[in-house]
Structures are given as structure tokens and as C-alpha cells.
């Protein structure tokens, strides 16, 4: 088993954060809803590869992301559509478009696969960024677990507000499993709802880094060692540097 992500850190790391990373890596290694464990670990590896991709750097520097043509530097374990999805989401997320998302789907990815891949990429970005921010190297990737994906698609999923189908809180059913902390959960919370297990895995990790859902809108309260305004200075600056409007 690989060592803890925070091994060697020169400051003490709260135990819930350490546990969240271990649970998240285990979830990535396990069979998902549409992807096998091996494919999910391959996506994690490609997420890291994308950080060094020359084409991605060229796209990021271009005035228009559509002005650059070429091939991504890939590990070669994924399809062309998967590689395009992983690399663009890692390297230049603020300039994605609905037309681009539809072009990725048209290359042979199912909507559920697209959403599950985005969930894995986002989880790897959180964990690798957290360790790097603390001056640590990337944790070794986990060994994948055997097993078949469940293939579950929520019956209430509809394409309405976003580029991909979402399950609005009022359309969730018991078979989806627990998804939302409240019926008023924001759209960021609903983003992965086409794949409920991805949603649960993602938020178990993300809430531990930012704030749990029941605290997010309590602006006068903090449960962290930095104040709420300090938290939001970081949040706003990181989002702006990514050109994220949300």
C-alpha cells in the first residue's frame, strides 16, 4: 500500500484531511458507475500527465483555445476523446464551451462516462494540489481493484440547466442514494449528479478541504483555522486565475 499522502509533511495535518485523501484514492481505484477501476486509475495518471503536456501549454497561451491544433502528450492508455477531456479540463477549464463538450461526446464518450471522468480529474486535482501546496510530492497512484461498473443512471436526470444532464433535488429518487445536504443545494453541488456515486465521492473529499454543505452559507461561522473572509480571499483568487465565473 502506498504511504499516506501527507507523509513527510513538516506541519501536522488534521486527521480528517488525511483520512479523506485515503478514502478518495481508494474510491478512485474501485470500479465506478461507468468505468472500471483500471480505467479510473488511468484517468488519474493522465490527469498528472496533462500538467506537462506541450499542446495544453500552447492552447493555454493562445488567444483562442480553438486556434491550436496538435496531439496531446499522453500515456496512451485512454481513447482520444478521454485524453481530450482530461487534458482540457486540467489545463484550461475556464475556456471550455458547450460546443466543445458536445464534440467530446460525439467522439464516442457516453454522458455518464464524461461526468465520471470529470469527477476523477477534479478529485485528483484537489489531492495533488493540496500536497503540492504543502511542499510534498504526488502520492503514488493506487493499484486498481477488479470488478464491474454498476451502470446506474438516475431516472430523474434531465439536460436543462447545464451542458450535461443533472438530477435536480426534487427529481432524486431513493435508488440514487443520498446526494444533497439540502433541497436548496447549489448547482455546483448538482454538477456530478448524473453519476451519484461520483457526486458522493467528490463531496466527501471537497467538503473536507473547503467547508461542509451545512456551513457554506453560514458566513459568520468558521470551522477552520483561518477566518471565513480569509477562506474566501483564497477561493476568489484561485477561481479568478482559472477564469472561472462560478
Bridge partners (DSSP) listed for residue 166: 158
Give the range of 73-81, 124-132, 149-157, 171-179 binding other proteins by CB under 8 A: 124-132
The minimum distance between CB 214 and other proteins, in angstroms, equals 14
Q: Look at residues 191, 33, 173 and name the one whose alpha carbon lies nearest to residue 122.
A: 191
Show contacts with other proteins in window 185-204 (CB under 8 A). 186-188, 190-192, 202
Nearer to other proteins, 141 or 185 (CB): 185
User: Considering the rule CB under 8 A, would residue 4 count as an interface residue with other proteins?
Assistant: no
Give the range of 35-43, 53-61, 72-80, 179-187 binding other proteins by CB under 8 A: 179-187
Nearer to other proteins, 150 or 218 (CB): 218
Give the range of 25-33, 147-155, 159-167, 174-182 binding other proteins by CB under 8 A: 159-167
> Which H/E stretch holds residue 231?
helix 228-241
The contacts of residue 216 (CB under 8 Å, 6+ apart) are: 210
User: Considering the rule CB under 8 A, would residue 184 count as an interface residue with other proteins?
Assistant: yes
Show contacts with other proteins in window 44-63 (CB under 8 A). 51
Residue pair 44/120 in contact by the 8 Å Cβ criterion: yes
The DSSP 8-state label assigned to residue 174 in this structure reads: G
User: Considering the rule CB under 8 A, would residue 93 count as an interface residue with other proteins?
Assistant: yes
Return d(Cα 154, Cα 175) in angstroms, integer: 8
| Three cell numbers written together for 86 | 482530461
The residue length of the chain stands at 246
Amino acid at each position: 500500500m502506498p504511504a499516506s499522502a501527507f507523509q513527510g509533511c513538516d506541519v501536522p495535518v488534521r486527521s480528517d484531511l488525511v483520512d479523506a485523501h485515503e478514502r478518495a484514492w481508494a474510491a478512485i481505484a474501485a470500479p465506478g458507475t461507468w468505468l472500471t477501476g483500471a480505467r479510473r486509475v488511468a484517468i488519474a495518471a493522465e490527469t498528472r500527465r496533462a500538467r506537462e503536456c506541450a499542446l495544453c501549454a500552447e492552447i493555454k497561451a493562445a488567444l483562442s483555445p480553438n486556434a491550436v491544433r496538435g496531439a496531446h502528450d499522453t500515456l496512451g492508455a485512454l481513447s482520444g476523446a478521454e485524453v481530450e477531456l482530461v487534458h482540457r479540463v486540467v489545463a484550461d477549464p475556464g475556456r471550455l464551451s458547450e460546443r466543445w463538450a458536445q464534440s467530446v461526446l460525439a467522439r464516442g464518450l457516453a454522458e455518464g462516462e464524461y461526468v465520471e471522468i470529470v469527477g476523477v480529474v477534479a478529485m485528483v486535482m484537489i489531492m495533488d494540489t493540496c500536497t503540492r501546496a504543502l511542499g510534498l510530492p504526488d502520492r503514488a497512484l493506487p493499484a486498481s481493484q477488479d470488478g464491474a461498473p454498476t451502470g446506474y443512471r438516475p431516472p430523474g436526470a434531465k439536460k436543462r440547466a447545464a451542458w450535461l444532464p443533472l438530477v435536480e433535488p426534487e427529481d432524486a429518487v431513493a435508488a440514487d442514494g443520498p446526494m444533497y445536504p439540502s433541497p436548496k443545494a447549489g448547482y455546483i453541488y448538482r454538477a456530478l449528479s448524473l453519476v451519484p456515486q461520483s457526486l458522493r465521492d467528490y463531496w466527501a473529499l471537497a467538503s473536507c478541504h473547503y467547508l461542509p454543505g451545512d456551513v457554506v452559507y453560514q458566513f459568520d461561522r468558521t470551522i477552520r483555522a483561518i477566518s471565513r473572509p480569509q477562506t474566501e480571499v483564497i477561493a476568489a483568487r484561485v477561481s479568478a486565475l482559472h477564469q472561472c465565473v462560478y
